[in-house]
Amino acid sequence: MEPNQSQDSRLKTIRTLRIAIASTAVALGLVVLFETNRQPRTDDAEVLANFIGIAPQVEGPIARLSVRDNQFVKKGELLFEIDDRPFRYALERAQSEQAALEGQIATIAERLPRSRAPCSCEGQSQECRGGFAPLASHGRRCNSGCRQRRTGSKPVESGMGVRG
């Protein structure tokens, strides 16, 4: 019986050894699987992500960024602020140029003599009755009427649907 017993113990040892090797292989496989999922490595990896391009209505340097990478945002949420200093400088420059031009206009207006034209229109304003009317106060009506009386000529009509 000894040969039978030794063969049985030998078979048990082999069976136990096979189970141990298979169990160790399964355990190592699970460890490798866990580690590769936790810290994946590859030479030809590709990452898929939602990428949405945005463009501001004006250009300029970004003064403040209000979002982080991969942060979910909602419609109308502030993403970034553009530095407004260049725009403020441009506005101030335009306002100073406007003030300078208004000053030039005022200077030229003071230098021009008040233009008055002789007028003999009757029934017009007080200024017209005095013999002189400001050019801009009565417009063409007074001036053409005065010209007609002074020169005896009639105003030229263009014939573009105007009836007189």
pLDDT score for 123: 53
Cβ(164)–Cβ(145) under 8 Å? no
Reported as type and span, the H/E element at residue 63 is strand 62-65
pLDDT digits (tens, 9 = 90+) for 139-151: 444 544 454 454 5
Domain residues of the chain, as ranges?
A: 115-151
Q: In the block, which residue shows the tokens 């009317």?
A: 133
The answer to whether the beta carbons of residues 118 and 132 sit under 8 Å apart is yes
Total-model pTM? 0.35
> What confidence tens digit (pLDDT) does each residue in 74-115 have?
888 998 899 999 999 999 999 999 999 999 999 998 888 665
Question: Helix H segments across 39-158?
Answer: 85-111, 126-129, 135-151
